[in-house]
Structure 1
Amino acid sequence: MKKILISIFVLALTLSSCQNNKSQDQTDQKKDEPVQVEKKEQKDYKSIGLEYAIGTKAELGKNLMTKMKEDGPIHALEFCNVQAMPITDSMSKKYNADIKRVSDKNRNPSNLASEQEIEYIRQFSQMVSNEDQVEPIIETTEDKVKFYYPITTNSMCLKCHGKVGEDIATETYNKIIELYPEDKAIGYQENEVRGIWRIYFDKE
Structure 2
Amino acid sequence: MRKIIWAAAIFLALLLGFLLFYRPEPLTVRKQLEAEAEMHKVKRITPAQVEAQARHIGDSLVNIADSLLHVRLTAAFEAGGTVAALKNYPPQQYPEVQAIAQKYNITVARTGQKLPVNSPDSAQVKTSGQTEILYTKGVFINQAACLKCHGTVGQEVAPATLAELQQSSPGFKAVGFKANAAIGSWQIKLKRQTILESLSRRSRRSLQMQ
Asked if TM exceeds 0.5, the reply is yes
Indicate conservation of the 8 Å contact 2:149/2:162, yes or no: yes
CA distance in 2, matches of 1:146, 1:66: 33
CA distance in 2, matches of 1:173, 1:50: 32
Q: Which structure: larger Rg?
A: 2
Q: Is 1:69 matched with 2:69?
A: no
Runs of at least 5 residues in structure 2 that lack an aligned partner in the other structure: 1-43, 195-210
SS, match of residue 174 in structure 2? coil
Q: Percent identity?
A: 20
Task: Decide whether aligned partners of structure 1 residues 55 and 85 sit closer, same or farther in structure 2, where only a CA change above 3 A counts.
Answer: closer
Matches within 5 A, 1:36-185: 37-77=46-86, 79-80=87-88, 84=91, 86-87=93-94, 90-91=98-99, 92-103=101-112, 118=113, 121-125=114-118, 127=119, 134-154=122-142, 155-185=144-174
Task: Decide whether aligned partners of structure 1 residues 181 and 165 sit closer, same or farther in structure 2, where only a CA change above 3 A counts.
Answer: same
State the shift of 1:98 in Å. 0.7
Task: Decide whether aligned partners of structure 1 residues 67 and 95 sit closer, same or farther in structure 2, where only a CA change above 3 A counts.
Answer: farther
Cα deviation per residue 1:36-92 (whole Å; 9 max; x = unaligned)? 922232222211111122222233333323212212234213x146x7564277343
Q: Is 1:202 matched with 2:191?
A: yes
CA distance in 1, matches of 2:49, 2:135: 16
Q: Greater share of helix residues, 1 or 2?
A: 1
Indicate conservation of the 8 Å contact 2:139/2:182, yes or no: yes
TM-score after normalising by structure 2: 0.60
CA distance in 2, matches of 1:49, 1:182: 30
Aligned length: 147
TM-score after normalising by structure 1: 0.61
Task: Decide whether aligned partners of structure 1 residues 122 and 50 sit closer, same or farther in structure 2, where only a CA change above 3 A counts.
Answer: closer
SS, match of residue 117 in structure 2? helix
Indicate conservation of the 8 Å contact 1:52/1:95, yes or no: no
Runs of at least 5 residues in structure 1 that lack an aligned partner in the other structure: 1-33, 104-117
